Chain A
């Protein structure tokens, strides 16, 4: 009997932990669903919060930080343009100085219009005036480090690969080296995220590698997106 209770005490927390452990991403905004082994943003339009750049998009962000990785790859499909500019971001080295205020990050940004994506750029964004509180509207700076005209069609799967090589960061699309720029940071430590604005997107097969070793893999065979909740509950007085 004692053994049974001991096993029960061990089994219950393990079961609870295993329920939580399948979450790999946090939904920031937009309507993200996991269907047909893909993560899809199905709203298209984005409702900005006017704080840090990720909040201007429909984003999912990894729950874990990564460091010293050499490669990020993802299969992505910009399934439908809603408005111009249609944008898709692959963000990395996302960090916050306090809590979850993720002001600082790098991202490869794809932007385009009616006919398709026509520009790829590398951007850096951070808090503008660091003396101001985090909850200050429109206090961010965005720098375009490098850019190139490049065509990506809507409704097609593309393989995007970010490689850190010889002090540079490069974006490959379907194996073609599209953009390369110096990456001057000491480390690429931080979270990764995928974001869209004015377009619906589907992503699959996210992999982060350190050389030949896989640090992270998600093929969205299960719903790995966590939605953070703030509970609105009844206030109960002790006298009640």
Chain B
């Protein structure tokens, strides 16, 4: 594995000069020469090969239009790659049938900038959605939802409706919904983009804590201050391609 210092590439080349993935057995996500085009010649991603290990916390950075959101969408099968292969939790995304996509998504939590909460459902009902779809009994649903809300300091808000809460509280509910099923992967797309700076670290700490419990966490953000603060691996995209894949100095390889 050649990964290590700042700007080191995650990829090596084999003897024929073809990029080859040096994959570890504990990979949660592997992307092989993935491209995504919208219409002829309009590439959102171009020949991206990446690997994310289980329990790894990774930032995806880059300017608007770099391809961060597209990459995340490919990982939870909201989009299909135009070229290349993606293996998520051992499943090849391109070969997933219609019935297999929901099964994969139950193992992935997703958090968005705009929270995506249902305004007419209570906090408890919003968080419970992840458990309802897998047929969790109601009593267990209530217990699990209460536990995660308590963990996030929102148990007193469980019968409130999202619109009566602050932006930070709404994002914490979205995180609770993403984490209540104990997902193996947590994807966050600009999770602090709509929040005041003083709430940003609060939310990021919650997301980072998931990685300490073994969840692979990928956070797309354009806030470089967060990347330097947390000292985690950062993959920088630009124009749909990976331009940098780095660890901060001194970080374990």
A associates with B = no
**Which residues of B are in contact with A by a Cβ distance under 8 Å?**
none
B-binding residues in A (CB < 8 A): none
